[in-house]
């Protein structure tokens, strides 16, 4: 492979056809050439897919493309520290008040911003039939649970390095440790 030309990602994307790219993207999921070939080319026979998948893995450009994906998973997945930090920020600075017009009247879900929707962990609804003076009425209860603001803030602090290292004494059981330094023939106790 050292004799082979090393392509940039852009050059590899130009060199490979779409099916080869699909094969490479699927191959890094579970390292199964047969499954990846079947996914990319629509082949149904396992034996044919196994042989053709192995042949694809011997093509220098395909190998380089797979190695690029493997070595740049963050870029391939579109994940970055900034993106993760932004997701935690949405949660950390969210409030249930952002989801209501008044303390009892909720905003319509469609009117919420993407950031407000991202802070919601779950929504549970329940309809209950209640009798009022010989009249039955259906009442809908909605429970909205937001992701933990505390946990999001803890994760932000870790990512930004706000927490100082914690010094722990795990050997003395809380007792003072006597240090003895040898100086020639003498011992000095600290």
- H-assigned helices in 141-187: 149-160
CA distances from 9 to 14, 55, 66, 68 (A): 9, 21, 11, 7
The token duo for 71 is 């070595």
Q: What is the pLDDT along the chain (190 residues), one digit of tens a residue?
A: 456 778 888 888 889 999 999 999 999 999 999 999 999 999 889 999 999 999 999 999 999 999 998 888 887 778 889 999 999 999 999 999 999 988 888 999 999 999 999 999 999 999 999 888 888 888 888 899 999 999 999 999 999 988 776 666 667 766 777 777 777 777 777 6
Q: How many CB atoms lie within 10 A of CB 65?
A: 24
Delineate the domains of the chain, giving CATH numbers in brackets: 9-77 (1.10.10), 83-150 (no CATH)
Residue 145's beta-bridge partner residues? 122
> Are 144 and 123 within 8 A, CB to CB?
yes
Closest CA to 139 of 98, 104, 99: 104
* CA 130/CA 112 separation, integer angstroms: 30
């Amino acid at each position: 492979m050292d004799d082979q030309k090393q392509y940039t990602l852009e050059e590899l994307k130009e060199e490979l056809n779409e099916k080869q790219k699909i094969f490479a993207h699927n191959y890094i999921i579970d390292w199964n050439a047969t499954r990846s070939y079947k996914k990319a080319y629509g082949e149904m026979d396992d034996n044919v897919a196994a042989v053709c998948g192995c042949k694809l893995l011997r093509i220098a450009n395909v190998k380089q493309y797979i190695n690029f994906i493997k070595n740049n998973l963050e870029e391939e997945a579109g994940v970055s520290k900034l993106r993760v930090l932004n997701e935690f920020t949405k949660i950390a600075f969210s409030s249930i008040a952002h989801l209501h017009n008044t303390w009892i009247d909720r905003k319509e879900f469609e009117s919420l911003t993407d950031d407000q929707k991202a802070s919601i962990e779950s929504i549970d609804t329940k309809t209950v039939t209640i009798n009022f003076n010989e009249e039955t009425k259906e009442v809908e209860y909605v429970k909205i649970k937001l992701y933990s603001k505390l946990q999001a803030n803890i994760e932000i602090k870790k990512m930004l390095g706000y927490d100082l290292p914690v010094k722990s004494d795990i050997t003395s059981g809380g007792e003072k440790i006597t240090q003895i330094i040898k100086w020639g023939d003498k011992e000095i106790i600290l």
